[in-house]
Amino acid sequence: MTMIPPLKTRDVSRFGRVGLVIGGSSAEREVSLSGGEAVAAALARNGIDHCVFDGPLALFDAIGNGEIDRVFNLLHGPDGEDGSLQGALQLMQVPVTGADLASSALSMDKVRSKWVWERNGIDTPPFEWFAANDHGYERALEKFGLPLFVKPTGLGSSIGISRVNQEDQLTAAVELARSYGSAVIIEAEVRGDEYFAAVLGRVGLPLIRVEPANEFYDYEAKYESDQTRYFCPCGLAEGIEQDLRQRSLLAYDLLGVSGWGRVDFILDESGTPWFLEVNTTPGMTDHSLVPQAAAEVGIGFDELVWRILETSL
């Protein structure tokens, strides 16, 4: 059973004027805009004084003018989820929802976050890292065989990710990933079901199992398809699910994440979870997973937005 702590406050004046920052210039802009519309509506229904900003520069101007007391961050990807925004707000002494500078930067970096997990006994799919001038992709083929996953090292929402089934697909997959950043990783495929563990405060919410409409849980399956199937409850035995929630929380803690987030993993046929990444600013669209998990324990969307905002107190 999931024990949900009481709200920290019911006094809307505690928040002051909130700057909701969305959009920005990253490849995840459209996802952020979609979620931002829903969050802005929830802030209004909660009676929270707020203003919406497209990207951090307009937000910084408002902060400089003394117009904003705290920030609800819903930027995804570079400049919002990678520590840049968090560091600037730290210097300005303005509270912000979610993870801090260091944990945001570490979680966004797929290579270094996986190194931390490997050092601490957390299973993550084997991978090879290719810096900007490293084109020796054959070593991943020799080491892992096919199929492979090619990914940018610092982007979410499955943007720029390819599943490579044939050797002649590899170069195009790397070029796609490099179009979103100079460094890429190539991972061995781990076969199993995809699970997602939302964390709110220090509470692990019910796991969600996803059956993607496509070959894997790519951008289309996440945000555009009505054929992707979501299971919450996820169908695992209670004891197994509780253990996986605890392991997910450990993976989350090892990267120093706080406030709220989502831990993604694949559960193989032997019951071993292989951790993929931690999202420090998960999506809040109508297809998103954190709202689905929160609803399973009786937290509606408006209360979820309130609780996320409380992480800035």
Tens digits of residue pLDDT in 161-201: 999 999 999 999 999 999 888 889 999 999 999 999 999 99
pLDDT of residue 93: 97
118-147 mean pLDDT: 92
pLDDT of residue 209: 97
How far apart are alpha carbons 271 and 282 in whole angstroms? 26
pLDDT of residue 221: 57
Contact indicator for 182, 247 with CB cutoff of 8 Å:
no
How far apart are alpha carbons 132 and 130 in whole angstroms? 7
Contact indicator for 281, 81 with CB cutoff of 8 Å:
yes
Unique residue bearing structure tokens 């292989």? 274
The two tokens of residue 57 are 């520069």
How far apart are alpha carbons 212 and 258 in whole angstroms? 28
> φ and ψ at 276, to 5 degrees?
-100, -50
Long-range contacts (CB closer than 8 Å, 24 or more residues apart) made by 249-255? 249/197, 249/199, 249/202, 249/204, 250/122, 251/117, 251/122, 251/275, 251/278, 252/199, 252/278, 254/116, 254/117, 254/120, 254/122, 255/103, 255/106, 255/107, 255/113, 255/116
Mean pLDDT computed over every residue of the chain: 93
Active site amino acids: 28, 157, 223, 262, 264, 277, 279, 283
Question: Which residues lie below 8 Å from residue 33, measured CB to CB, with a gap of 6+?
Answer: 22, 23
- Residue 224: which pLDDT band, with cuts at 50, 70 and 90? low
User: b vs e for 98-112, b when ≥16 Cβ sit within 10 Å of the residue's Cβ?
Assistant: bbbbebbbbbbbbbe
The yes-or-no verdict on residue 218 having pLDDT over 80 is no
